[in-house]
Structure 1
Amino acid sequence: MLKLAALFGDNAVLQRDRAVPVWGWCAPFRRVRATLGDGSAETRSGADGKFLLRFPPMPSAVRLTLQVTELESGETATAQNIALGEVWLASGQSNMEFKVSSLADGGAELRRRADAGELDAVRMLTVPRNALLTPARDVDAAWQTASAATIDDWSAVALFFAKKLADELAVPVGVLASSWGGTIAEAWTSGETLARNPDIARAYSEYLLRTGSTEYWDSLSPEELEIPMRNFETALFTHLPPEPENSGFSAGWAESAYDDSNWDRTALPAQWKEFDLNTNGTVWFRRKVEIPAEWAGRELILTLGAVDKHDITYFDGVEVGRTGSGYDTSCWDVCRVYRIPSELVRPGLRVIAVRDYSFAYDGGLTGPASGMKLAPADAEREKISIAGEWSYKIETDLGPAFPHLSGMGLCCPNSFSILFDNMIRPLVPAALRGVIWYQGESNAIRFHQYERLMRDLIADWRFHFAQGDIPFLQVLLAGYRTAMDYDPNSEWAPIREAQSRAAAATGNLVASAVDAGDAADIHPKDKQTVGERLAAAALMQAYGGKEEGSGPVFRSQTRSGDALLLSFDHAAGGLIAPDGRPHGFWIAGNDRVFKPAEAVIAGVKVAVSSPQVPEPVAVRYGWSDNPRSADLRNSAGLPALPFRTDKFDDGENE
C-alpha cells in the first residue's frame, strides 16, 4: 500500500542545498521514516493516507538511495540512482513541448552525444497530457536518464538548457517537463488566482457552474465518458471516421475554369464557426487573383497564413503544397508558405483553391490577414493581398466530432486551470531552482490581457511551490510570418512587450528567440539557441553568474536636438551591431507616424533620428511579428529586446 509520488522514483534528481519535500501514500495515521544518503526525515500520514516529509538541505551527490518505511507494518519503498543537483520546471505550449526528434537533423547529433556519454548529467521527467476535470493526485511518469533510446521524446529546449547548466555548474540537472501545444496561459493558472482577475473571474465562475451541472454530464456520450487519463486525445480520435476522399478535386473544384458562382461567400481569415460552420469534415475555399503581366514566368510565393487543421493547396488546378496528415493536431496554427513554380505563372485571372480538412474542434483559414498574400519570390514588395472575400463549399460534412468537448470542459486543454490542476498541482511542492516558460502564441490575439495573466501566473506558481521568488524565465516569441522592419498591426510585438513587462514587474530575465525564428513555421527548429539563452539567464539570475544573461533592455530616452538618446540595461559592456549601425529602429513625432530611423551606437546608448522627423518623441524597435533586420546586441552577443518608448496604442504618450 505504501507508494511514493512519481517524482521520487528511480533516477530522480532532487534539488541540492534546499529542504527537499518527499511525499506519497500509505495507510492513514502511520509513522513514516525516510533516508536519503546521510539524511533522514520522519512524519505521520494523514486521514487520507498522504504523507509529506522534508529532508534538510544537502549538497550535490549522485548514486544515492531513497528509502521510505511505514514503521508499523515495516513496508518499504525504495528508489535507486537518486541525484542531488539542480531541478527546473519547463512548461508552456508547443515550442517547449517540441521534441528532440523534430529537430532539423531528427535529433541525430543529440543521440550521438548521448551515446558518447556527453549528456549523462541530464535527466528528465515528462508529465503526460491530462485534461480531466478532477485534479490529478499524481502523474503517470518516470524519470529518464539520457540515452539514444530515451531522448527523442524529450523537450529539445529543456535538454539544451539543462546541458548548458550541467556543463557550467558541474552538477546533475533534472527537468520536470510539463507542456502542451496550443494552450493558453489561463489553463496553466490555478482557479484561486483566476478568480481574482477581473478580466476572467466572471467567465471562470460560469465555466465552473456549467461543467458542474447535471445537464453537462448527461450530454456526454459513453465514448467521451470513457476517456482514459493518458493519451485521451488518441482515445477520442479512435472514434472518428478516416479522412474523407478528396472528391472535390475529382469534381474540378481546384480548376480555374470551374464555375463557383453558386458557392457561399465569406471573409477570410476566419474560423469556420465565425461563419456558422459548426461541424467537422472538409471545406474548400477558392479565390480568384489577377496575375500581372510582369509576373509571367516568375516563381511565386503563396502565403496562406495558418490553416486549421490540414490543407491541400492548389494553384490553377495544380497542387503546390500540403500540410498535415492523420489526426495530427500540431499544425493547426502553422503558417502555410508554398512555392508556385514559374511554369504555372501566366497573366490573367487565376484561382487559388484550398481544401481544409478538420477532424475535430474548429477549422478555417485563420490568417492573420497581413500574412495572406501572393508575391514573386524575388520581389516580395510586389505582393497581392489574398485576405478578404473567398468562395467556399462543404465537400464532406462529418458533423461535430465532439459536440460537448469542443468548448471548455472535459478533455479540453484550453479550459480554465485544467492544466494547472492536472500537470502542475501534482508536482507541488517539489523543491525547484526555477521555471523556464515558452508560451504566448495562443494568447497573442488577446495581448492586452497577457501582462496581467503572466504576472498572476508567476505569482501563482511561486506561491504554490513556496520557495520564495524563484526565477521564472520566459522566452520572447520567435520571429514568425513575413519578415518586416515595422508593422503597426503586429500581434506578436505587443505580446512580446507584455512578456517583457511581466518579467520586469516580477524581477525576472527573459530569453529572446526573436532572431531564432522561421517565417514559415511557428515551430522553428533552432531550439539550441533558445535553450542556451535560457541557461545564460538562469546562470545570471539564479546562480549569480557574472556573464551577461540578457540582451539589452530599454530603460529610458532623452531628447538631444533632433535625435532621441536611448539608454539600456544589460549593456554595461557596450553595444554592438554587425556593421556598427544597428537596424530595426523607427521614430515618430507628435503626429504618431513612424518613419525608418538612423541609429548610431554611442557607447552604452543609441542615438536615433530621421530627417523626416525633426521633432521626435517616440521610438519603436523590432516592432513586427518577424523583425529580421533588428540587430542591436550587447557585448555578450545577446540581442536587444524589442520595445516601444510610447503608449500611443494605449491612448497616451510617455
Structure 2
Amino acid sequence: MSPKKTIIALAFCLFCVLAARAGRVDTAKTFTITNALGSNMVVQQNKTLRIWGTAPAGHIIGVSTDWGKKAEATTGTDGKWLAQIKVPAAKRGDFSKHIISIVHKQTSGSPNRSFIDVKEEIKFTNILIGDVWFASGQSNMEMRMATVPGWGTGVKDFEKELPLAKYPNIRLFKSDMGIEFTPQDTVKGAKWEECNPKTAAGFSGVAYYFGRELYNKLQIPIGLVAQAIPATAAQNFTDINILLADSALNKKYVYPYAKALDSIKAKNDKATTLASLNYPGLVYNKMIYPFQHLSIKGFIWYQGESNNIDSTLYTRLCTAMLQGWRKDFNQGELPFYFVQMTPYKWGKDDPTANWYAKFREAQEEMLKVKNTGMAVTMDIGEPDNIHPLNKKDVGIRLAKIALGKTYNEDLVYAGPQYKKFKVEGDLVTVQFEKGSTAGGLKTIDGQSPKHFYLAGEDKKFYKADAKIAGNEVVLTSAQVPKPVAVRYAFTNYPLTNLANSEGLPAVPFRTDDWTN
C-alpha cells in the first residue's frame, strides 16, 4: 500500500477509535448483563454457556442453574466479567423450562473474600435447552413474515401461515438495526420471545421457516437470532481489521471509504453520509460482534444483492468474513449455510448477459470452505422483485442442508450437482454427482429442461434441446455440430425447471473458463 493510502486508512481507524472514546460508557460503577441473553432464551446444548456484562472492578459475579451447575467470575480492571456454565445435551421431546440466577457480589477485598455483600440478583426464567442458530444478511434475510406499512411486503401466504405460528418452544431474538464505529459489547432494542403469531409477524421469514423445519424434524427447542439489515454488503458485516490485513480487500473495500473521511468531517454530517455509503465493518460492530460470546449451533446467511458486481472478489470477501466470525465466536468451524441469489431481471432479455451468473458462481466457490452449504433458488425468482416473496422454500432448503450436514439425518438436501459431460458426435450427455439426483431427474413443470447451452470451438453459445434420460440430460443443438462446452443456467435471468425427485433445483454450472 502506498504511504498516502496507509495514512488515509489509519485516519479512518483513528476516527473510529476517537468516536468510540467519545461515546464510551463508564462501566466501573455499573452492573449489567448483556442484552443478548435473558428470560425466554434457548441456551445451546452440549456447549459452555457464557454470560457476560459489566460491574465495578474486583466484584464477584456468581451464576447458578437449576440443572446443578455453578460458576463465578471476577470483574476485571476494565469493568468486564464473563462467567461460564456447562450445558447438558437436549433430549428429543424435552421442553423443560429452566432458571438461571446471576448474583452480583461485593467483597471486602480480603484475600479469602470472607466478607461478601450480595448487592443484587437477576433471574432468567422460562429458559430452554436446545440449539441456537444465527441468521444474518441483507434485505432478503431481514424480510419479515408480515407486511409492515411503510417498510416492506410480507412473505408469500403470510396471511395463512401466521395464524399457525404457535411454537412456544421456538424462541426468537432480533435487535435494533444500525451501525457503530467500534465493536459493541451489547445490543439495543432486543429481548428473547416465544414464537407466536404476533412475534413471528415481525421476524425474518427465512429464519422462521428454517427454525420451524428444524423443530418439527428434531423435536428439540430451537433459538433463532436474526441480525439482518437491508441494503448492506458483505464488507459491512466483516471486521475491518480483517479487511485491512488483506491487500486486495483493503484496496477494494476500505480505501475508498477512508478517502471519504475528510468529506464527512468537513460536512459534519456523519449520519446522512454513512447512511448512503457501505462503510466496511460498521454493521459488524453493532450487529455481529456483540454476540461473540454467544454459544450457537451455526450460521445461516442470505446476502449478495449489494455485491452483485463483485464476482472477482466476493468469494475472498465472504471467506474472510466467515473466518472472522468463527474466530470471534471461538467455537471451531461453525456451520455456515447460505442462499445462492435468485434470478432477477438484470439482462433478462439478453441471453449473453452473465455477470450475475458469475456472481452466483462466486457464491458457489464458498463451498470449498469447510462446513458450508448452499441453498439453490434458481426456480423461485421473480423478474421484477429482487426480494422474491417465496421465503418458505428458502428456509426449508436451508434447514434440509442443516439436517443433512449438521444433524446427520438421512435425507436428500441438495439438488443435482454437475459431475462431467461426454460428447458423441453432436450429442452431449451431462452426468450429475451420485446421489444428487435422488430418485431421478424431473422438471417441475413437466416441460423439457430449460437453459442449457452448447458451444463449439468458436466459443459461441447456442440454446440446446434437452431431454432427461434417467439420471442424465442429453443435449443437442443444430448450430453446434461439434460441441466442446456446456452451460446450464449461466445467464442473468434463467428461471429453471430441472430438479431431482425431491424437487430440489439443479445447481447452475459451466464447463468452460472463458471470459465471456
- 1:418-475 per-residue CA deviation (whole Å, 9 max, x = no partner) reads 1111110001021111111111011112222212112222222122212122111111
Give the counterpart of 2:187 among 136, 139, 154.
139
1:88 maps to 133
Contact 1:623-1:643 within 8 A present in 2 as well: yes
Distance 1:127 1:26 in 2: 23
Contact 1:567-1:606 within 8 A present in 2 as well: yes
Within-5 A mapping of 1:266-345: none
Contact 1:485-1:622 within 8 A present in 2 as well: no
- 1:482-526 per-residue CA deviation (whole Å, 9 max, x = no partner) reads 795973223321111111111234442211122112111111111
**Alpha-carbon shift at residue 132 of structure 1 (Å):** 2.4
SS in 1 for 2:515: helix
**Alpha-carbon shift at residue 411 of structure 1 (Å):** 4.8
Cα distance 1:151–1:211, how it changes in 2: closer, same or farther (>3 A)? same
The reply to whether residue 130 of structure 1 matches residue 203 of structure 2 is no
The reply to whether residue 63 of structure 1 matches residue 97 of structure 2 is yes
Contact 1:437-1:472 within 8 A present in 2 as well: yes
Contact 2:168-2:194 within 8 A present in 1 as well: yes
Give the counterpart of 1:534 among 389, 393, 398.
398
- 1:278-323 per-residue CA deviation (whole Å, 9 max, x = no partner) reads xxxxxxxxxxxxxxxxxxxxxxxxxxxxxxxxxxxxxxxxxxxxxx
The reply to whether residue 627 of structure 1 matches residue 491 of structure 2 is no
Cα distance 1:201–1:113, how it changes in 2: closer, same or farther (>3 A)? same
Give the aligned residue type for 1:94. Answer: S
For structure 1, which segment, 75-84 or 105-114, has the greater mean C-alpha deviation from structure 2 after superposition?
105-114
SS in 1 for 2:430: strand
Contact 1:14-1:84 within 8 A present in 2 as well: yes
**Alpha-carbon shift at residue 557 of structure 1 (Å):** 3.0
Where structure 2 has 5 or more consecutive residues not aligned to the other structure, the ranges are: 1-29, 107-116, 147-152
The reply to whether residue 415 of structure 1 matches residue 279 of structure 2 is yes
SS in 2 for 1:161: helix
1:53 maps to 83
For structure 1, which segment, 519-528 or 604-613, has the greater mean C-alpha deviation from structure 2 after superposition?
604-613
**Alpha-carbon shift at residue 530 of structure 1 (Å):** 0.8
Contact 1:188-1:418 within 8 A present in 2 as well: yes
Within-5 A mapping of 1:297-446: 402=272, 405=273, 410-411=274-275, 414-446=278-310
Give the aligned residue type for 1:8. Answer: L
**Alpha-carbon shift at residue 69 of structure 1 (Å):** 1.5
Within-5 A mapping of 1:234-249: none
Distance 1:583 1:208 in 2: 42
Distance 2:319 2:404 in 1: 21
Give the counterpart of 1:497 among 361, 367, 370.
361
Cα distance 1:590–1:47, how it changes in 2: closer, same or farther (>3 A)? same
The reply to whether residue 18 of structure 1 matches residue 78 of structure 2 is no
How high is the TM-score relative to the length of structure 2? Answer: 0.83
The reply to whether residue 198 of structure 1 matches residue 65 of structure 2 is no
**Alpha-carbon shift at residue 615 of structure 1 (Å):** 1.8
- 1:87-128 per-residue CA deviation (whole Å, 9 max, x = no partner) reads 1111111011101113256732233113xx3x2222211121
2:338 maps to 474
Give the aligned residue type for 2:158. Answer: G
Distance 2:266 2:347 in 1: 50
Contact 2:33-2:52 within 8 A present in 1 as well: yes
Distance 1:449 1:421 in 2: 22
SS in 2 for 1:151: helix
The reply to whether residue 600 of structure 1 matches residue 464 of structure 2 is no
Contact 1:88-1:434 within 8 A present in 2 as well: yes
1:107 maps to 158
1:646 maps to 512
The reply to whether residue 616 of structure 1 matches residue 476 of structure 2 is no
The reply to whether residue 29 of structure 1 matches residue 58 of structure 2 is yes
Distance 2:158 2:337 in 1: 25
**Alpha-carbon shift at residue 50 of structure 1 (Å):** 1.4
Distance 1:591 1:78 in 2: 71
Give the counterpart of 1:41 among 68, 71, 96.
71
Contact 2:257-2:279 within 8 A present in 1 as well: no
Give the counterpart of 1:589 among 456, 460, 470.
456
Contact 1:488-1:623 within 8 A present in 2 as well: no
Contact 1:486-1:623 within 8 A present in 2 as well: no
Distance 2:350 2:501 in 1: 25
Give the aligned residue type for 2:169. Answer: A
2:168 maps to 120
**Alpha-carbon shift at residue 187 of structure 1 (Å):** 0.7
Larger radius of gyration between Structure 1 and Structure 2: 1
**Alpha-carbon shift at residue 611 of structure 1 (Å):** 3.0
Aligned residues: 461
Cα distance 1:637–1:84, how it changes in 2: closer, same or farther (>3 A)? same
Distance 2:46 2:334 in 1: 14
Give the counterpart of 1:153 among 202, 205, 211.
202
Distance 1:211 1:142 in 2: 36
Contact 2:135-2:226 within 8 A present in 1 as well: yes
Distance 1:417 1:124 in 2: 25
**Alpha-carbon shift at residue 617 of structure 1 (Å):** 1.5
The reply to whether residue 179 of structure 1 matches residue 228 of structure 2 is yes
SS in 2 for 1:186: helix
The reply to whether residue 165 of structure 1 matches residue 195 of structure 2 is no
For structure 1, which segment, 605-614 or 122-131, has the greater mean C-alpha deviation from structure 2 after superposition?
605-614
Distance 2:491 2:65 in 1: 52
Give the counterpart of 1:461 among 300, 322, 325.
325
1:551 maps to 415
Cα distance 1:89–1:104, how it changes in 2: closer, same or farther (>3 A)? closer
Cα distance 1:642–1:204, how it changes in 2: closer, same or farther (>3 A)? closer
Distance 1:585 1:206 in 2: 41
For structure 1, which segment, 518-527 or 16-25, has the greater mean C-alpha deviation from structure 2 after superposition?
16-25
2:437 maps to 571
Cα distance 1:105–1:452, how it changes in 2: closer, same or farther (>3 A)? closer
Distance 1:439 1:204 in 2: 17
- 1:166-218 per-residue CA deviation (whole Å, 9 max, x = no partner) reads 101101111111111111111111112212333221355646865877x8546
1:287 maps to none
Distance 1:127 1:643 in 2: 38
Give the aligned residue type for 1:640. Answer: A
Contact 1:483-1:519 within 8 A present in 2 as well: no
**Alpha-carbon shift at residue 47 of structure 1 (Å):** 1.3
Distance 1:466 1:27 in 2: 26
1:231 maps to none
Cα distance 1:413–1:535, how it changes in 2: closer, same or farther (>3 A)? farther
Contact 2:156-2:391 within 8 A present in 1 as well: no
Where structure 1 has 5 or more consecutive residues not aligned to the other structure, the ranges are: 228-401
Cα distance 1:211–1:44, how it changes in 2: closer, same or farther (>3 A)? farther
1:247 maps to none
Contact 2:135-2:224 within 8 A present in 1 as well: yes
Give the aligned residue type for 1:158. Answer: A
Distance 1:111 1:205 in 2: 42
Give the aligned residue type for 2:182. Answer: T
Give the aligned residue type for 2:173. Answer: L
SS in 1 for 2:168: coil
Give me the identity figure in percent: 31
Cα distance 1:485–1:62, how it changes in 2: closer, same or farther (>3 A)? farther
2:112 maps to none
How high is the TM-score relative to the length of structure 1? Answer: 0.66
